[in-house]
A and B are shown apart, each in its own frame.
Chain A
């Protein structure tokens, strides 16, 4: 009684309080395939990532709903979808950085928050203040802190590993430079080196190619292929459709719900992309062309 009275008052004050059409969850007329399609026959502790019924909401607006996913090891996987589809949210929720409303996440068979030591993370470049008074080497050394625990300081071995990672991304000459004086591509490479220093088996990268020059982009892809050769699993949030087709072995199509997940050739079809982008596929012609070429 009190509640309905308050609601009435509220409706007077908030004409826009009623749920908008656009806030409702989009209908998807296909049934997503069973989650374990690509991980049949694998032991639980060999599956890098398994997600069941993951739902994340922010102030009562759903951002991810009912995600079911199981990822096979040793693959380079792209996560694509329109803006606001929840791609970054998915990564953060998997790592336990955001609270979830339902569902669970397992990393190599164990609860995600407890098994983070097997995960390497490359966050978005904007997540950090680049005026912070640290050098490039200091940032890469942070990747070793997980292995060190609370009280130990980085030793010679850690420094050597950090230097090796900097060499891999060709940033060793900048090791002593403060991070403000780097270009976008160089900053991204520093973040990559830090993730490499973590020496993990499962990597998450949030838009590593955003705002990066062509040379850096190709060297990052080279590095990712190298990691994959070694049997690591890598999930990359990616924003550019045409390159997604060429870079990744498998794709996750995400638009608040999981539209599909599978090998790129199977999943990168016109119909599935249209369902993901909800008819807002503005580079339709390029993608259609690419898909047609793929079929030939």
Chain B
């Protein structure tokens, strides 16, 4: 087992990626941060609305959407190429719009389909919501795996990549060019766009999201359509999940979604500060996780989750209001009865 853990070479693990190897690792760090940030910000609403597991469902069920989108894009590209007389084997045409568009459409369809299926199952029969979620996402995910296994040659995914993504590929992807100026690898641009849009949408619709998460009835009476917000949130979540797919795969996304918000909510009760802390958590876990992955030669996504979980555990133990350690110390300090109820003020005088 000792051969599994490589030596802790400080220079190679912590210094080199930021200096000499920056051209490779720079984009990886950025991608990791963007993924964690987008997921972390959107995930706060999942926690508020107690829909963490619907988020889990969506992250699983984007797979068939992606697979079908790839197949469709493939068929479309083939038809285009045939129409124009291009032989794809010799002259691979850039995927360009159809690729990105296909992913986007696949995500939307998957998101809507999942939410619809869950609703239909638990409203039309006596099956409860938890079982409906479980049935829906596992069936859709299984369907996706079958598609990519059977049509392995036509779809650009493989089973392991589905589980944990491969963020390292980001730096070798073709760059997105404006004119002759090379900006960044396409996935990074896509993810950056998604992250900024997420931030923007959250700022613009801050009130609506907050009210409909807290009290859908009140929201409706204020003219905000709570159902629309729900479906819109699910769709946007699918977009985020799909954009993050290449980096972290299908299953670990849920960790990225929940961990930052959960950690932040243990440290504060004011929502704007929760959002800021989620961003900090995202940055910390992505950087630490990548260093961990470099050291252990392991999957980057898995290590980012481990780092995030580690930060959560630290805040769980040390959080001033809910942490295990401060509460234990407080209990020891008080001799009897309840710390926060102001007992000494009442004067009932029985024996």
Interface residues of A (CB under 8 A from B): 3, 6-7, 9-10, 13-17, 19, 23-28, 31-32, 34, 55, 57, 60-62, 66, 68, 101-102, 131, 180, 257
Contacts and interface: CB of A to CB of B under 8 A. Distances in A.
A264 B309 CA distance: 58
Interface stretch (B145-153, B279-287, B337-345): B337-345
Contacts, number: 74
A60 B337 CA distance: 9
Given A10-B320, A17-B321, A3 B326 contact: yes
B131 to A, nearest CB: 11
Given A3-B326, A25-B341, A31-B349, A16 B269 contact: yes
B273 A60 contact: no
A180 B345 CA distance: 50
Given A13-B268, A28-B348, A180-B126, A19 B340 contact: yes
A9 B329 CA distance: 16
Contacts of B273: 13
A77 to B, nearest CB: 22
5 contacts: A13-B273, A14-B270, A25-B341, A28-B346, A101-B338
B269 A23 contact: no
Contacts of A55: 337
B342 A19 contact: yes
Given A6-B320, A31-B349, A62 B269 contact: no
Contact of A27 (B126, B269, B270, B347): B347
A68 B321 CA distance: 33
Contacts of A7: 320
Nearest to B347: A27
A49 B339 CA distance: 30
A31 B346 contact: no
Interface in B279-337: 318, 320-321, 326, 329-330, 333, 336-337
Contacts of A257: 348
Given A14-B268, A32-B350, A9 B320 contact: yes
A71 to B, nearest CB: 19
Contacts of B340: 19, 23, 60-61
B211 interface: no
Classify chain B's interface size. 20 to 34
Contacts of B329: 3
Contacts of B333: 3
A31 B349 CA distance: 7
Contacts of B270: 13-15
A19 B341 contact: yes
Top-10 shortest CB links A-B: A10-B320, A13-B268, A24-B342, A6-B320, A60-B340, A131-B126, A19-B340, A62-B341, A57-B338, A27-B346
B109 interface: no
Given A3-B329, A13-B321, A27-B346, 10 more contacts: A17-B269, A19-B342, A31-B348, A31-B349, A34-B350, A55-B337, A60-B340, A68-B350, A101-B338, A102-B337
Contacts of A17: 269, 321
Given A6-B326, A13-B268, A27-B347, A61 B321 contact: no
A24 B341 contact: yes
Contacts of A180: 126
B267 interface: yes
B342 A23 contact: yes
Contacts of A25: 341-343, 345-346
A24 B269 CA distance: 21
Nearest to A26: B346
Interface in B259-279: 267-270, 273
Nearest to B350: A31
A90 B126 CA distance: 34
Nearest to A61: B341
A101 B326 CA distance: 20
Contacts of A15: 270
Contact of A60 (B126, B338, B346): B338
Interface in B232-284: 267-270, 273
A23 B346 CA distance: 13
A97 to B, nearest CB: 20
A24 B347 CA distance: 13
Contacts of B350: 31-32, 34, 68
